Structure 1
Amino acid sequence: MRFDSNFWQAIDSRYHPELKAIAVERTIRSQEFLFQDKDPYYGFYVIRTGKFRLFNLNDAGDEATISVLGKDQTIALVPIFTGQSHNHAYCQAIEDNSFYFFDKNKFISLIKKRTDLLFSIAEMAVDFTLGFRDKYLSVILQRAEDRIIDFLRELGAETTYVKLPLAKKQLASLLDITPESLSRLLNKLKTDKILSETDGAYRINKYNFTFPSNT
């Protein structure tokens, strides 16, 4: 999916000093909220270390995980262009994290003076939006096994063992399956020798996707 765009790699390095000049470095502890639904929107974030999860709650209080975001990815970038005044999701740290905060007014003032920087940022916002389309299509067109493997692949499981960054209930919500199905399919993938597991971490041995990601 397109949620994994690297903020700094997507922007010409000549603009990095100007961006860091208006950025505020902050830290947050695991399980703390970066923002919650209906909080005022003040700007966006670029993750330095750790991971966050985005999720929504329905009227019954059930969580629907939207995505998991890590190093150099952006959070809440799209509202810079939509002009919304409030956040429409919850963002929670799932590790002790550090990040850059970009105040929306300072950032807008900067990109108004740097047209090519504006285009780079707009492209990232569009890419993130398309990521939601990809997620929707994957739920429709991919088998559940494919979605599990695709998620692990994005964590780097093709080259090393990775731990699941979410509780199984939260990960199942992200993958649009039940927690019971997730456990069963993980066991099946291990039995079929598609996955290896050690100390709760997984690695992909081999896999052929029935529906490729990033389409």
Structure 2
Amino acid sequence: MAKISEKLSQKTFQSGEYLFQAAEKKDTLFIVHKGKVRLFQVSESGKEQLIRILGPGDFVGEQRLFNPGQAQNNFAQAMTKTEICLIHQKDFEEVLKEHPQISLEILAEMAKRLSQSENQTTSITTTSATNRLIFHLVELIEDPNNPTPIVTLSMSKKDIASYLGTTPETISRKFKELEDAGLIKQLSNQKIKILDVDELLLYE
């Protein structure tokens, strides 16, 4: 991404402000410099489905660069005061001509996201809310050799519920259920101590 820095412009978004909304046609790549952005979809019934949380170094909008004029099908909303670097499609094409390797890197990232999206969809349709929460907590473990790790939630419990395809009330009940079972301890709103990783994975 350093290779395209000279083509970038920068814009600051306040918490709650949208980078873009569904149906908009913006042939722009958005790169998070500082802050956090939530990427989500809204169903016809009005239910939100969180896709991912973007942090510094993450980007979104790459599909419109390869398909100019295609409308957005997601919403991107700043979660905090967020600094975004932007590059427009025409400038991006010039960069690709000089540095074609960048397109391969972006395609690799797109393939990774597609795989994650497919796994998320499969999980929502085939596993219980309890198991989805357990798998989410385990994915947050940074040291796999620590039998009692402390994980930091990267999003609010409301957003976790949206990401896992359930309701905030259900997620709150599942956290309490796992705590009552002696598998986790909620140290704060963002810090969760897993008391036994193996037992947590076996819990049903």
Residues 1:182 and 2:171 are matched in the alignment: yes
Q: Which has the higher contact order (CA 8 A, sep 6+)?
A: 1
Partner of 2:197: 207
What CA deviation, in whole Å up to 9, does each residue of 1:169-190 have, x standing for no partner? x432220123222111111222
In structure 2, C-alpha distance between the alignment counterparts of 1:102 and 1:147, rounded to whole Å: 36
Amino acid at match of 2:162: S
Q: Which residue of 2 aligns with 1:131?
A: 116
Q: Distance in 1 between matches of 2:181 and 2:17?
A: 38
Looking at structure 2, the residues matched to 100 and 75 of structure 1 have their Cα atoms a distance apart, in angstroms, of 11
2:58 maps to what in 1? 73
Q: Which runs of 4+ in 1 moved over 3 A?
A: 140-143, 149-161
Distance in 2 (CA, whole Å) between partners of 1:155 and 1:26 is: 30
Partner residue of 2:183? Answer: 194
Deviation at 1:106, TM superposition (A): 0.6
Structure 2 counterpart SS, 1:46: strand
The alignment's TM-score, normalised by the length of structure 1, stands at 0.77
Aligned residues: 194
Deviation at 1:37, TM superposition (A): 1.0
Q: Using the TM superposition, name which of 197-206 and 38-47 deviates more.
A: 197-206
Whether the aligned pair in 1 keeps the contact of 2:25 and 2:69 (CA below 8 Å) is no
The aligned amino acid for 1:185 is K
The residue that corresponds to 2:152 in the other structure is 162
Question: Deviation digits for residues 35-82 of structure 1, max 9, x if unmatched?
Answer: 111112221112122221122223343322222222211112223223
Aligned-pair CA distance for 1:153 = 4.9
Q: 1:61 to 1:144 in 2, by over 3 A?
A: closer
Deviations 1:72-123 (A, max 9, x none): 1111222322344321111111112122212121112211232222212221
Identity of aligned residues (%): 20
2:130, 2:193 → 1: CA distance? 12
Q: Which amino acid aligns with 2:186?
A: E
Aligned residues of 1:149 and 1:204 also touching (Cα < 8 A): no
Q: Equivalents in 2 of 1:63, 1:201: separation in Å?
A: 22
Structure 1: 5+ residue stretches without partners: 1-7, 9-15, 211-215
CA RMSD of aligned residues (A): 2.5
Please give the alpha-carbon distance, in whole angstroms, between the structure 2 residues aligned to 1:155 and 1:75: 22
Match of 2:4 among 19, 24, 37: 19
Q: 1:171: which partner in 2?
A: 160
State which of 123, 126, 133 in structure 2 corresponds to 1:148.
133
Deviations 1:174-207 (A, max 9, x none): 2012322211111122223332222322324232
Return the TM-score normalized by structure 2. Answer: 0.80
Alpha-carbon spacing, 1:103–1:155, altered in 2? closer, same or farther (3 Å) = farther
Between the aligned partners of 1:78 and 1:23, the Cα distance in structure 2 is: 18
